[in-house]
Each structure stands twice: as structure tokens, then as C-alpha cells.
Amino acid sequence: MIVDCAIYRDGHRTEGPEDFSDALGEARTAGGFVWIGLHEPTEREFDHVTREFGLHPLAVEDALKAHQRPKLEVYDDSLFVVLKPVVYEPRSDTVSSGEIMIFLGDSFAVTVRHGEGAPLKAVRHRLEQEPELLGNGPTSVLYAIADAAVDHYLDVAIELQADLEGLEAEVFSPEVGGSRNTASRIYDFKRQILEFRRATGPLALPMSRLAGTAQSGVTVPFVDDRARPFFRDVSDHLTRVNESVENLDRLVSDILSAHLAQMSVRQNDDMRKISAWAAMAAIPTMVAGIYGMNFEHMPELRWEWSYPALVLLMVVLEVLVFRLFKRRGWL
């Protein structure tokens, strides 16, 4: 589905022909560019765009099928960039990701969005309010989308940090720290971090290449040199996000280890208590077992005070053993 199609000239949006081919020709003649936005297009819908803009078939296949990792690929007539914006759902504490594919050429920008999250309407509106930035051509579209996605990464990282603090407080709480649901919540949280990392981690190299700071030193075509400082800023923000994700992953692993250690300690405490009560129960059982054998030569059986004496002996032994276990913290 085509969401929007516009021609931009000298940093301003202008009305142009509805046909893609005519719009592209007019943009090239006037020194502007065309920005076409699509949302989950079908193969038939995207076929016309592919023919008019000469998009590479491999990139088109990736754009239609989605489920791509963040990457940057250079073709003869265009640049293909994949971003994975993330959406945080506070009610369920879950992180989900969509996909934005960007085709960048000398006079056009084609964006293909998959998923309901991270719509580009706000990005387009904000970019149209900055004609100086928009005057950099199609590069400004790529920068605006990447900047919005990475800035939202920072917001999601803050939300996850807040959730992690709450989970940490729950783990170390004496009331609920040993609940059965705690371990499953920790694993669910680790899964959310993994989903977040899949979006942010692979994007580091493409941003470095766009910023011109990659070790290869190869200049990326179709990117205005004036925009490279802006991409360096996005790359710096992305580095902060990746560091936050690493810290979150390390902390949640430490919390899981602490929770498992607490569970082990509690189990040891329970076993000691059970063992202590079993030892106390063994005393009367042993005495009753000895005198329940009914041997013929047992003088104590004919003694008048044998029964109360044995009961008193068992009580004294039980009290002594109880105080011993209590002093050592077993009870």
C-alpha cells in the first residue's frame, strides 16, 4: 500500500505528477528528489516501483519478504538499508520489532515498512519542518529515519532499565524472592533484551560506514558528504544504546545467578530443618524400638518408675538436641 508520494525541491515539498516515472523525471530535471512511502506492499504493488526506479531484484526480494537483519548493501543504481525499529509495550513488558527498508538513489528515496510500529508519518512531518536538512537530498530521508529509530532505542533502553530495577527488587525481596514465577520472569526479560539486541547490534557497522568511520574507509555512494557528521551523531547514540543493552544483559544474568543462588540456599535451609526434625524424631523412635523388642532379661521393664523415667529421658534428650540445633541455626 502506498502511504505517501511527494517531490522535494530546495528543501520544500511540492506537488507533482502522480505517475512515478513522471515524478522521478521532473525531480531530476528540477534538481530535487522523490520520496515514496509504502507499507507492507504486495509483489504486484511493488513491481511498478521496481521497474520505474530500477531497483535490484535481490533487494526487492528482501523488501517484500522482510525478516531481515539490519544491514547496508550497495548496488549499481541504489543503496539498500534495513532498519529494525522497536516498540515497547509497557502493559505486557514486551519488546517487538518491525522493519523499515530504504532504497536510496540519486534522485529518489523509497521506504518500505513492515509491522505496525514506528510509522514514518511523524518522521516525514518533522523533516519537512527542516528545509536546510531536507535540502541535502535523499540522504536526509535516510538520516531522519535512522535518527528517529536510534532515539527510540534510547527510550526503550530506559524503560527496560526501569523494569530491570523492579525485577531486581523482587528477586531480593524476602517475601517474593523465592516465588516460582520469578525465574520465568527473568527468562522472559532476557528474551526481550535479545530481541532488542537483534535490532541494535547489527546496525553498528552500517552506521559506521554511513558516518565514514568504518575501518574499510570505503565511501558509501548516494550519501551526501555534508550528511556524514549527522550520521556520526547517530552512530554515537547507537553506541550508547549497545552499551546499555550489554549492561542490561549482564545485569539480568547476574540477577538470574543471584536468584538461583538464593533458591539453593533456601533449599539447603529446608533440608537442614528437615534433617533436624528427623534427628529429633529418631530419639524416641530408638528408645521405643529398644524396649519394644520384649527381651526376657530387661530389668527396666519390671521397675515401677521405668515408664516415667524413660519418658523424662526422651524429653530431656529432645530439649538438648533442640537447643543444639537452634544454636547452630538449623531450626
Q: What is the pLDDT of residues 189-203, one digit of tens each?
A: 888 999 999 999 999
- Span 101-125, mean pLDDT? 85
Q: What is the pLDDT of residues 36-60, one digit of tens each?
A: 888 888 888 888 888 888 889 999 9
CA 41 to chain centre: 27
Confidence class of residue 21 from pLDDT cuts 50, 70 and 90? low
Which alpha helices (DSSP H) does 85-137 contain, by range? 121-128, 131-134
Q: Are 80 and 103 in contact (CB under 8 A)?
A: yes
Among 3, 7, 37, residue whose Cα is nearest residue 24:
7
- Span 100-114, mean pLDDT? 90
CA geometry: angle at 200 spanning 236 and 142, to 5°? 65
Q: Are 130 and 150 in contact (CB under 8 A)?
A: no
Q: Are 183 and 259 in contact (CB under 8 A)?
A: yes
What is the value of pTM for the model shown? 0.78
Predicted confidence at residue 215, as pLDDT, reads 64
- Whether residue 160 is predicted with pLDDT greater than 80 in this model: the reply is yes
